[in-house]
Amino acid sequence: MDDAYLISTVLIFLSAIFGYVNVRFLKLPNTIGLMILTILFTLAVLLLSYYDPTLLNLEKSIISKIDFKKLLLDEMLSFLLFAGALHTNFNQLKIQRWPIFLFSTLGVLTSTFLVGTVMFFVLQIISLEVGFIHCLLFGALISPTDPIAVLGILKKAGVPKKLETKIVGESLFNDGVGVVVFLTIFKIAESGIANVSATDVLHLFGQEVIGGIGIGVILGWITYRLLRSIDDFDIEVIITLATVMGGTVLCHKFHLSAPLAMVTAGLIVGNDTVREHAMSATTEKYVDKFWELIDILLNAVLFVLIGMEMLVLVIDGKYVLAGLLTIPIALLCRYASLFLPIKIFEKKLDFVKNTDVIMTWGGLRGGISIALALGLSATMHRDLFLVITYIVVIFSIIVQGLTVDKLVKRLKE
C-alpha cells in the first residue's frame, strides 16, 4: 500500500476517533480537544513503549515520513486560508483595513525584534549561548498569530464583531507576512549578513508579498467571471477548488506568497457583492458547505499532527525552562507590538474597550510556528527553538484558547 495513503488513513482515523471522544465527552472546541487528546495519546504510547515499543515505533515511522513544514506551508495552508477568507465579513474587513494592515506588518516586525532581543538576553542568563540573528529568527516564527487556531476558537468566544474582524483579519494576513520575514532572516542567518544586501531583502519581500496579493487579485477576478458565466453548483465548487490548487502551484513556481494569494482570492470570491452577482442561492450553499468541510477536515488532521510531532522533541531541562520563560515574553511583546496601531486608529474607528488585552490573549500561536521551527537547521539551534515553540503553542491553544471567552465576558462587565 502507498505510504501517503496509509499515513492519510491513520491521520483521518485518529481525527475521527479523537473528534468523537471530544464531542461525546469533553465538549471542548474541536481544535483544542483534538490536540489535548493527541498529546495524551502520544504520552500514553511513550509510557506503553517501556513494555512494548510496537505502537511507538509505528507512530515514529509515520512521523518520520511526514515533512510537516512542507505539508502545512506548501499544501494545507492554502486550503485553510481560502476557506477562512471565504467566510470573513468583507465589508467589516474593508472598514478595518488600515489597522489590520498595520497589525499584520508593523506588528509582526515589532514583535519579531522585541522577542528576538529579549530572548537573546534571557537565554544567556540561563547559560544557553545563542546568536542574536538566531534569536531574531525565533522572534519571526513565533510572532504571527495562527489563523487556523484563531478562526476555530473565536467562533465560540463571543468576541464583539468589530474586534473579531480585527483579530481574524490580522491572523489571515500576518502569517503570510510572518513567513516572508522568517525567510528573509533565515537567508541572512544562512549566508551571513555581509552577503545579503538591503536590495535582496526588499526584492524578496516585494516579490513574495506584492506578487502574492497581485496573483490573488487576478485569481479572484477570474474565478468570479467563471462563476458568473454559468449556473451549475457542482462545477462551480470544482472551479473554486481549482483556483486554490492551481494558484498554489503558480505561487510556488514564481516564488510568490501562496498564503497571501489565497487570502486575497478567498476574500474576493467570498465578498457579498460577488456572491450576489456570481452565485445562485444553491451554489452559495454548496460552495460554503464544501469549504467548511475542507476546513474542518484539515483542521482536525493538523491538530492531530501537532500532537504527534511531540515525538521529535529533544527534552532538556534548560530547553523546558526557556520555553516556560518565553510564554510571558511572547505575550508582553505582542501587547507592545499592538500599542502603536491601536493608538493611531482607536478614536477614529471607535475601537472596542480593552482591544489591546483581548487581541493579546486572543492572538493564538499554532501550526505555522511549529512548521517554521521544524525548518530550522541544527546550527540555528533547531532542537532548542522547537521545544520552546511547542511549549508556547500548547499554552496558547489550550490555556488562552479555553479562557479567551471568559476574558471577553469579564471585560464586558
CATH number, position 83: 1.20.1530.20
What average pLDDT score do residues 343-369 get?
A: 88
Cα–Cα distances (Å) from 280 to 132, 230, 320, 405, in that order, read 55, 10, 54, 36
What average pLDDT score do residues 209-222 get?
A: 95
pLDDT confidence tier of residue 346, bands split at 50, 70 and 90: confident
Q: Which residue among 34, 64, 94 closes a domain? A: 64
How far apart CA 3 and CA 9 sit, in angstroms, is 10
Q: Verify that 54 and 91 share a domain, yes or no.
A: no
pLDDT confidence tier of residue 197, bands split at 50, 70 and 90: confident
Q: Verify that 43 and 187 share a domain, yes or no.
A: no
Give the cell for residue 367.
Answer: 501550526
Exposed / middle / buried, residue 279 (Cβ in 10 Å: 0-12, 13-18, 19+): buried
Contact assessment for residue 148 and residue 31, using Cβ atoms and an 8 Å cutoff: yes
Is pLDDT above 70 for 156?
Answer: no
What secondary structure letter does DSSP report for 50?
T
Which of 250-254, 303-307, 406-410 is least confident? 406-410
**How many CA within 13 A on the CB side of residue 380?**
26
Higher pLDDT, 92 or 222: 222
Is pLDDT above 80 for 15?
Answer: yes
Given this model, what pLDDT does residue 342 score?
92
pLDDT confidence tier of residue 205, bands split at 50, 70 and 90: confident
The helix or strand, by DSSP H or E, that contains position 307, with its residue range, turns out to be helix 281-308
Q: Verify that 153 and 46 share a domain, yes or no.
A: no
Is pLDDT above 80 for 331?
Answer: yes
Given this model, what pLDDT does residue 150 score?
75
Q: State which residues form the domain around 27.
A: 3-64
How far apart CA 111 and CA 105 sit, in angstroms, is 10
Please provide the DSSP assignment of 169-235 as one string.
Answer: HHHHHHHHHHHHHHHHHHHHHHH-GGG--HHHHHHHHIIIIIHHHHHHHHHHHHHHHHHHH---HHH
Q: Verify that 57 and 90 share a domain, yes or no.
A: no
28: left (phi over 0), alpha (psi -120 to 50) or beta: beta
Higher pLDDT, 311 or 122: 122
Higher pLDDT, 123 or 28: 123
Number of domains in the chain: 2
How far apart CA 21 and CA 167 sit, in angstroms, is 30
Higher pLDDT, 21 or 408: 21
Question: Which of the residue ranges 2-6, 83-87, 189-193, 248-252 has the most confident prediction, judged by mean pLDDT?
Answer: 248-252
Q: Which residue among 43, 64, 85 closes a domain? A: 64
Q: Verify that 29 and 89 share a domain, yes or no.
A: no
Q: Verify that 232 and 244 share a domain, yes or no.
A: yes
Q: What is the share, in percent, of the chain residues with pLDDT greater than 70?
A: 97
Q: Verify that 225 and 207 share a domain, yes or no.
A: yes
Q: Which residue among 64, 95, 116 closes a domain? A: 64
Nearest to 173 by CA among 261, 94, 269: 261
Q: Verify that 142 and 17 share a domain, yes or no.
A: no
Given this model, what pLDDT does residue 293 score?
93
Given this model, what pLDDT does residue 380 score?
94
Is pLDDT above 60 for 304?
Answer: yes
Q: Verify that 242 and 384 share a domain, yes or no.
A: yes
pTM for the full model?
A: 0.93
Given this model, what pLDDT does residue 234 score?
95
Q: Verify that 242 and 323 share a domain, yes or no.
A: yes
- Residue 383: other Cβ atoms inside 10 A: 16
Q: Verify that 371 and 350 share a domain, yes or no.
A: yes
Given this model, what pLDDT does residue 25 score?
96
Given this model, what pLDDT does residue 378 score?
92
Which of 17-21, 261-265, 299-303, 392-396 is least confident? 299-303
What average pLDDT score do residues 110-125 get?
A: 97
Q: Verify that 57 and 82 share a domain, yes or no.
A: no
Query: What are φ and ψ of residue 104, in 5° steps?
Result: -90, -5
